[in-house]
Structure 1
Amino acid sequence: MVREKLMAGHVVRRLRRRLALSQAAMAEMLGISPSYLNLVERNQRPLSATLLVRLAETFDLDPRALSAAEPGGGAAAMRRRLADPLFADLEIDRAELEEWLAAAPSGAEAFARAYDRGGSGGAAPADDDPVAAVRREIERWRNHFADLDAAAEALADELRLGAGDLYGAIAERLRTRHQLAIRVLPAEVMPDALRRLDLHARQLQLSELLDPASRTFAAAFQLAQIEAREEVEALARGAGFADRTAERLYRRHLCGYFAAAVMMPYARFLRACETTGYDIELLQRRFGAGFEQVAHRLTTLSRVGARGLPFFMVRVDRAGVASKRYAGASGAALVEADARCPLWRLHHAFDRPGTLAVQLVELEDNARFLTMARTVSPQGRRYGLVAAEFAVGLGVEAGLAGPLAAARGLDLAGLATPIGLGCRRCLRPACPQRAAPPAGRAWVVNERERGVSAIAFAGD
């Protein structure tokens, strides 16, 4: 279990200024010394559990604001932005970044918003991209929604008391409480759909092409739309999307989150992760879930006081286009990059379908990750029709990967594959795989010499 120090000086300082209190006055109300409060506000001391409780009781502070309101998304997110080649000559180290966040959180937030709006290299992203808007909101919460998790866990315990078969228990609850029957229909009857809600017939119709894990997920998703409506609507309203499509996509993500949390209740799932070494195949069997479902669930384990390892997840197709990206609490730059390095074995997973590819990688900033990749195929696959295939990549910081079953026999401090965030953001010299010079660096052509890489650039 990973326990992180809670550094939230910016939130405490903002609260004090909003209440027009001096440090001495607030310290007296909290029963601490002004000097200690000063250290907390400057992120030189973590927030203790006792002080957190006092803040909540004295000033009605929502504890979730302490993690959701970090300037620029926190130090890891700011490091990802500063990894842009545009800032390569500034050489901003971690200590300088943390000092900036502590001393000028509003300035750091302003920089983050301006950078995100302008994008890397000054290319403005589309303001009307609903997927990007939803991703920003999910990452603002680090893909952990405590209220949804708590409600799903309580529901899962209630369902387990009634029956050992989760799918059967959900079906019975839909039938008795909500007058909805589940009907599995032949593929010919539902040629273009896997799940359909027919309110006229009071049926949740599922295609026979769905495997048991996907049927359970579909049934739990329907239950989420009904029984988690209040929690989902509260989160959707809080997001404040201007775009209706983004709001609907966000609701769908939240209902899927709830469904997965019913299948893999937080406390039981985390305990299973820790006892099995995060063995994904064992977790699949134990919770009746698919590989991608387990992989996504691993990115959500950020409950205060009961955190799991901070995994990230990305799903790509053969063309390298990402259709799912979750950084969770990992802060991994590999998730945020729009391009990926071909030296990362995420792409090699397509060569050995269904086999887990494990690799130790190292980025230019010396961040090291143990990564795992495997192919998945969406439900609904039929002979003679186009069959989709994706590669799902998971990763965790190498220094934390010791307990993993996938790490057994590996030297996590040993040789790692040097990779980048795509050629346009990578400054590694003499890379034989390079396809383009880094953004902002001139292409140097020497007719008398040919290096390991066919592409040389200024500063190389």
Structure 2
Amino acid sequence: MSGEKLIAGHAVRRLRRQQALSQAAMADILDISPSYLNLIERNQRPVSAALLVRLVERFDFDPRALTSDPPGGGTAAMRRRLADPMFADLEMDRTELEEWLAAAPAGAEAFARAFDRLAGQRTGTAGMVVEADPTHLVRREIERWRNHFADLDATAEALADELRMGAGDLYGALAERLRVRHALAIRILPVEILPDTLRRLDLHARQLQLSEILDAPARVFALAVQLAQLEARAEIEALVKGAAFGDRVADRLFRRYLGQYFAAALVMPYARFLRACEATGYDLDLLCRRFGVSHEGLAHRLTTLNRVGARGLPFFMIRVDRAGQVSKRYAGAAQSALVEAEGRCPLWSLFAAFDRPDAVLVETVEMEDGTRFLTQSRAVQGAGRSLSGVTARFAIALGVEVATAKGLAAARGRDLNGPATPIGAGCRQCLRPDCAQRSLPPQGRSLIVNDRERRIAPLHFAGD
């Protein structure tokens, strides 16, 4: 929001070092005390509006540098990296981490880049490192941007305003835009003709062909994706080039993701969508109806509301199958090990959603460190079915920290400080000693077997 504090110690410190100034010298130029400047550089004080003006006037400073990404993506992103089991014995707390980011931002950024590159690699059978997983590379790039691409949002918002001026029906407006500007006709084809395809661009026939099994929101989204490929090509290609994956598959995956991002931003324009979220208390069902989108499309869009000066609530989203395998995860600006962890906790109602396909399961969960989240879980299914007759089914969870959840429609009538479900980031990372559901000991902890007693928890490990 516009009134939020601007914490940008790393940018101020970088400017001072570029000018080869001591803290005392820079403080004198800015008419502040050296101790106050020290607190700013350590992220213990915000940059005030008056100080920002002085920085601009006296150092020809670009104020946009203050809103650039902090080293390593900030405290939340660095905490997720340090949650890796290899760092378990370091016990670095939040205060120590913040001091590190403030004192050595370049070192922290270097660590983050090295960790991300190594984490994206896998070891072959001969012990040699082979190419990074392209899906991992793309996910890390999305996280680096906090799942918010300002240029795409702005372009999509302008196009949405233009389209709505000419037609109230978004599907009709999109179809007309494709027909008039790009000479593309829309054709809905029977499933017999497109047995395993949902959308196909036939340039020879100048047709965008859609399967009849797509519902209304999916048809609108398909047209919006096609417009993204045609009218946001420059913005998308710039982002792909900037990612510098060095991997063609990763380039294509990222390009496809950005096209879908643009489509969502076109259907749910940023400013209008954020106003609707705040007015309805982020009521999921109401927002789906108002914007004509699926639950999954809405959930994804909620993780992208990170515009400077107009941020939404920091939601995270995760999508799993019945086996607990994650096929989508977006942290956005959220701080949650639930997103980054490879394991899932079976106590979370996310998995119960499969058995109640028409319900949104609202739950307060508490992590080991005491952090609480309000989560909303719902089962969804993929569009269409495979030739073998299998329909994909998933469960999606949206979560936000309890501290920011009080105004949510889902929180009405709930005691957010009352009982909560104790969950973890999967058995291998969870150190709760009294969990009756435990299947594996924590990584790095030895099992203890005692023939003389049996506890409720099935596994007893060193240090519990």
TM-score interval, smaller chain: over 0.9
**Residues 186 and 208 in structure 1, CA contact (< 8 A), matched pair in contact too:** yes
CA gap of 1:56–1:374, structure 2 versus 1, over 3 A, is farther
Which of 338, 345, 349 does residue 341 from structure 1 map onto?
Answer: 345
Specify the SS of the correspondent of 2:428.
helix
Q: CA deviation at 1:229?
A: 1.0
Deviations 1:151-203 (A, max 9, x none): 11111111000000011111111111111111111111111110111111111
Output the CA distance in 1 between the equivalents of 2:438 and 2:3. 39
Which of 209, 220, 223 does residue 219 from structure 1 map onto?
Answer: 223
Residues paired across the two proteins, number:
457
The 5 Å alignment of 1:222-241 reads 222-241=226-245
Residue 44 (str. 1) matches residue 44 (str. 2):
yes
Specify the SS of the correspondent of 1:364.
coil
Of residues 38-47 and 349-358 in structure 1, the stretch that sits farther from structure 2 once superposed is 38-47
Which of 181, 192, 195 does residue 191 from structure 1 map onto?
Answer: 195
Which residue number corresponds to residue 441 of structure 1? Answer: 445
Specify the SS of the correspondent of 1:353.
coil
Which residue number corresponds to residue 423 of structure 2? Answer: 419
The 5 Å alignment of 1:55-454 reads 59=60, 61=62, 63=64, 66-117=66-117, 119=119, 127-381=131-385, 385-454=389-458
Q: Which amino acid aligns with 2:74?
A: G
Which residue number corresponds to residue 32 of structure 2? Answer: 33
Taking only the aligned residue pairs, the percentage that are identical comes to: 68
Q: CA deviation at 1:19?
A: 4.7
Specify the SS of the correspondent of 1:184.
strand
Of residues 16-25 and 318-327 in structure 1, the stretch that sits farther from structure 2 once superposed is 16-25
Output the CA distance in 2 between the equivalents of 1:245 and 1:204. 24
**Residues 85 and 438 in structure 1, CA contact (< 8 A), matched pair in contact too:** no
**Residues 164 and 173 in structure 2, CA contact (< 8 A), matched pair in contact too:** yes
Output the CA distance in 2 between the equivalents of 1:108 and 1:99. 11
> Unaligned regions of 5+ residues in structure 1, if any?
none
Q: CA deviation at 1:18?
A: 3.6
Q: CA deviation at 1:51?
A: 4.7
**Residues 363 and 374 in structure 2, CA contact (< 8 A), matched pair in contact too:** yes
Q: CA deviation at 1:266?
A: 0.7
Output the CA distance in 2 between the equivalents of 1:395 and 1:340. 14
**Residues 67 and 308 in structure 2, CA contact (< 8 A), matched pair in contact too:** no
CA gap of 1:15–1:237, structure 2 versus 1, over 3 A, is farther
CA gap of 1:75–1:138, structure 2 versus 1, over 3 A, is same
Output the CA distance in 2 between the equivalents of 1:55 and 1:213. 48
Of residues 148-157 and 384-393 in structure 1, the stretch that sits farther from structure 2 once superposed is 384-393
Output the CA distance in 1 between the equivalents of 2:453 and 2:2. 51
Output the CA distance in 2 between the equivalents of 1:265 and 1:21. 44
Deviations 1:386-406 (A, max 9, x none): 111010110000111111111
Output the CA distance in 2 between the equivalents of 1:256 and 1:266. 15
**Residues 11 and 69 in structure 1, CA contact (< 8 A), matched pair in contact too:** no
Output the CA distance in 2 between the equivalents of 1:62 and 1:196. 45
**Residues 155 and 232 in structure 2, CA contact (< 8 A), matched pair in contact too:** yes
Q: CA deviation at 1:82?
A: 3.2
**Residues 305 and 314 in structure 2, CA contact (< 8 A), matched pair in contact too:** yes
Deviations 1:310-357 (A, max 9, x none): 000000111111010000001211100011100111111101112101
CA gap of 1:154–1:25, structure 2 versus 1, over 3 A, is farther
**Residues 350 and 375 in structure 1, CA contact (< 8 A), matched pair in contact too:** yes
Output the CA distance in 1 between the equivalents of 2:238 and 2:24. 36
Specify the SS of the correspondent of 2:375.
strand
Q: Which amino acid aligns with 1:10?
A: H
Q: CA deviation at 1:83?
A: 3.4
CA gap of 1:6–1:192, structure 2 versus 1, over 3 A, is same
Deviations 1:247-279 (A, max 9, x none): 111111111111101100111111111111100
Deviations 1:107-166 (A, max 9, x none): 33344345445559x989964200110111101111011111111111111100000001
CA gap of 1:382–1:103, structure 2 versus 1, over 3 A, is closer
Of residues 49-58 and 355-364 in structure 1, the stretch that sits farther from structure 2 once superposed is 49-58
TM-score with structure 1 setting the length: 0.93
Of residues 228-237 and 6-15 in structure 1, the stretch that sits farther from structure 2 once superposed is 6-15
Q: CA deviation at 1:32?
A: 4.7
Q: Which amino acid aligns with 2:401?
A: E
Specify the SS of the correspondent of 1:375.
strand
CA gap of 1:52–1:210, structure 2 versus 1, over 3 A, is farther
CA gap of 1:383–1:355, structure 2 versus 1, over 3 A, is farther
